[in-house]
Amino acid sequence: MNVVTTPEKILVMRFSSLGDVALVVPVVKSFLNEHPDKEILMLSSKLYADLFAGIDRLEFLGADLKKNEKGIIGIYRLYQVLKKKYQIIAVADLHGVLRTFVLSFLLKLSGKKIGTIDKGRFEKFALTRKGAKIFRQLPHSTERYLNVFKGLDFTIEKALSELSKPLQSNAANPKIRIGFAPFAKHSTKMYSLDNFKQVVSYFNKMPYKLYFFGGGSAEKRFIEEWENIFDHAVKKTAEVSLKEELELMKTMNVMVTMDSANMHMASLVDVPVVSIWGATHPFAGFYGFNQNPLNAVQVDLSCRPCSVFGNKPCWRGDNACMKQITPEMIIGRVESLLV
């Protein structure tokens, strides 16, 4: 059997979630800008291929973690593909989970240099614990990713800063497009849909065009209902791919989101985002890349943040961090971007 080889590559691994993988995009772009003699092999879930489409000198290798690449056998199968098909000179593990640890170990046995992310677990625990919080801005995820490359003796922070540019809404457009993404994976990161509906209602008038974004079946039912309720809502004609979703998002003047994947996707296509924060906090390092911190709508409570990812129940039991955010606070922030 003939084995097809490719030029030397840096293997970059990050499997989930969608928002975390999206934050890899500006980092790998920066790496390639600053190191024109290198190539990247991006290993991630096959569902996220569209995030990396069109990036020169980047090859995407999609894994099906529920079938072919599931479990230890699947990991070993991935290793065999990597070993036989690609000339990998170094590995950047941007995930730091059992799957990537095993792959890194196998590749290290083959003589590859390995760099692994420092997730800052103690810092995040200190930020989110009940008492004696150390309340400070932690490194952004992109910084943590950059540090992995630094550990491999690559520097790319200059190119990353060059990618950072002020985001401006194209308010001169006579039809102002506002994208609404009212959903999040965890309930503590979701604003009340009734209150969110009040925000949408305010903009249901000229000169606004309203677009709704969401993925799951329950989310789609809400979206279909709202598309029928609001006169200025634009209905999606069919199921759209991730690539098509990004293309549509790119045309928005502003996006209104939770602390969610949609915040990161909008950031990838240089759209200003008004994001709504409850149990989580931008200080944990997961804010949208290049977004203005002033556009994070949140209230100051001594218990915030109580979770890094929003996957823990409210300590108070009343979700005050979300309930104290008024629709007017969100509306005001959106309008400030459309002036």
Per-residue confidence band for 1, with pLDDT thresholds at 50, 70 and 90? very low
| 216: containing domain | 176-337
CATH number at residue 82: 3.40.50.2000
Of 118, 135, 163, the last residue of a domain is: 163
- Lowest-confidence pick of 106-115, 148-157, 320-329: 148-157
Same domain flag for 128 and 206: no
- Lowest-confidence pick of 228-242, 271-285, 318-332: 228-242
Residue 54 pLDDT greater than 50, yes or no: yes
Of 163, 192, 207, the last residue of a domain is: 163
Same domain flag for 200 and 246: yes
Same domain flag for 40 and 118: yes
Residue 2 within a domain: no
Same domain flag for 55 and 116: yes
Q: State whether residue 273 is helix, strand or coil.
A: strand
Same domain flag for 187 and 159: no
Residue 169 within a domain: no
pLDDT digits (tens, 9 = 90+) for 95-139: 999 999 999 999 999 999 999 999 999 999 999 999 899 999 999
Same domain flag for 159 and 180: no
Same domain flag for 154 and 180: no
pLDDT digits (tens, 9 = 90+) for 205-218: 999 999 999 987 78
Total domain count for the chain?
Answer: 2
- Lowest-confidence pick of 13-17, 70-74, 291-295: 70-74
Cβ-Cβ contacts under 8 Å for 318 (sequence gap 6 or more): none
pLDDT digits (tens, 9 = 90+) for 251-293: 999 999 999 999 999 999 999 999 999 999 999 999 999 999 9
Same domain flag for 194 and 156: no
Of 105, 128, 163, the last residue of a domain is: 163
Please tell me the distance from the alpha carbon of residue 321 to that of residue 314, in angstroms, as a whole number: 9
- Looking up tokens 């949208």 gives 288
Which whole-number Å values give the CA distances from 155 to 87, 117, 148, 151, 162, in the listed order? 21, 15, 10, 9, 14
